[in-house]
Homo-oligomer: A and B are copies of this chain.
Amino acid sequence: MASKEVEITSWFAAQSNLVKTDYPIGIGDDMAQIQLANGTSVLITTDMLLEGTHFELSKATIEQVGYKAMAVNLSDCAAMATLPIGAVASVGLPKGWGVEELKRLHEGMTSVGNRFECPLIGGDITKWSHTAPGLSISISMLSRPASCAPVRRSGARVGDYICVTGRLGGSILGRHLSFVPRVAEAIAMRQIAKINAMIDISDGISSDLGHICRLSRVGARVEEAAIPISDDARRQPDALAAALNDGEDFELLFTLAPAEWKKLSGRWQMETPLTRIGEITPAGRIELVAADGKTKEMRAEGYDHLAT
């Protein structure tokens, strides 16, 4: 999400005027949280995928599209270190689609949903009345807090280390259709250490670190040489730019105190690598430090749906 989306999202958030006790987390984070009776709360997220924008049916199977639609929502649950508990899906079908295609979409959705104990519990089936439009899928997912409070985007503190899971960039070569949402990693991380802020990388760290900094009112310094670059990114003309800006990595970007990082990296046993890439600073800008020590501002180059 880049500038125009930030602008309108901030405007929506300002309009919403939610009572904090009933809605502890509102517009602008990876999920919103509603406080229910008896000290119980629930979180919700929603994501829409459009044919031509988020997938091409010439390059992806219908099952992969269903998988991705579910996985991007699971990634939001991971971004707050919460446990997914159920999802609903609404689909706008192209002309000519019917029961067979729906079953294949369902297969893709439930394959990844079941893996994270997140069943599909409802939905809505609609169809375009003309030929031109493509498939649109919207999934909304509920989660519940794990043993700790949900991790927000706004909790980064000056001096925190900035870290990421996995390796970044080049997901367009296929990983955007088959990535494993970091639900298990997020819960495991939170059990070992106190995470101050977290987001999933959907628009590239140049944009997503910007969200953490803006909402936490801090700056950041990222070491170019520390960025874990994926093999797919290395196949791009500019591997570093791919790792910073490509988006759809759906890895986790998080910040935590140095002592907590020591604990986390010392006790980490999962296969997914964790990498420290920088540090939270007081300044309101995000700096990228090159291998030669030169510093430049890191600008959000991620995809902006509202850019003209």
Cα A11 to Cα B99 with chains together (Å): 10
User: Does A78 interact with chain B (Cβ within 8 Å)?
Assistant: no
A106 at the B interface (CB under 8 A): yes
Q: Is A127 an interface residue (CB 8 A)?
A: yes
Are B48 and A90 neighbours in the complex by a CB distance under 8 Å? yes
A155 within 8 A of B: no
Residues of B within 8 A of A38 (CB): 37-40
Of all chain B residues, which has the CB nearest A106? B12
A53-B129 in contact given A44-B140, A92-B48 (Cβ < 8 Å): yes
Looking at A11, A53, A305, which has the most chain B CB atoms within 10 Å of its CB? A305
How far is it, in angstroms, between the C-alpha of A123 and the C-alpha of B134 when the chains are bound? 21
Q: Does A211 contact B (CB under 8 A)?
A: no
Q: Tell me which residues across on chain B come within 8 A of A50, comparing CB atoms.
A: 92, 126-129, 133, 136
A115 at the binding interface (Cβ < 8 Å): no
How does the 8 Å CB contact mask read for A3-19 relative to B, with 1 for contact and 0 for none? 01101110110011010
How many identical chains are in the complex?
A: 2
Q: Count chain B CB atoms within 10 A of each CB in A38, A40, A86, A124 and give the residue with the most.
A: A124
Taken together as a complex, chains A and B put the C-alpha atoms of A18 and B118 apart, in Å, by 10
CB-CB nearest in chain B for A134: B133
Q: Does any Cβ of B come within 8 Å of A23's Cβ?
A: yes
Q: Is the CB of A54 closer than 8 A to any CB of chain B?
A: yes
Q: Within 8 Å CB of A134, what residues of B?
A: 128, 133
A27 part of interface (Cβ distance < 8 Å): yes
* Interface residue? A158 (CB, 8 A): no
On whether the beta carbons of A88 and B45 are closer than 8 Å, the reply is: yes
C-beta contact mask, A101-118 vs B, less than 8 Å → 1, else 0?
011001000100000000
Contacts A40-B36, A305-B93 given: A15-B110 contact, CB under 8 Å? yes
A46 near B16: Cβ-Cβ < 8 Å: no
CB-defined A-B contacts under 8 Å, sample of 25: A12-B106, A12-B120, A16-B121, A18-B119, A23-B119, A31-B122, A34-B85, A36-B42, A38-B38, A38-B39, A40-B40, A42-B42, A44-B86, A45-B122, A46-B88, A47-B90, A48-B91, A48-B126, A52-B128, A54-B126, A90-B140, A102-B306, A133-B133, A133-B134, A133-B136
Q: Which residues of A contact B (CB under 8 A)?
A: 4-5, 7-9, 11-12, 15-16, 18, 23, 26-27, 31-32, 34, 36-40, 42, 44-50, 52-54, 85-86, 88-93, 98-99, 102-103, 106, 110, 119-130, 132-134, 136, 138, 140, 142, 144, 305-306, 308
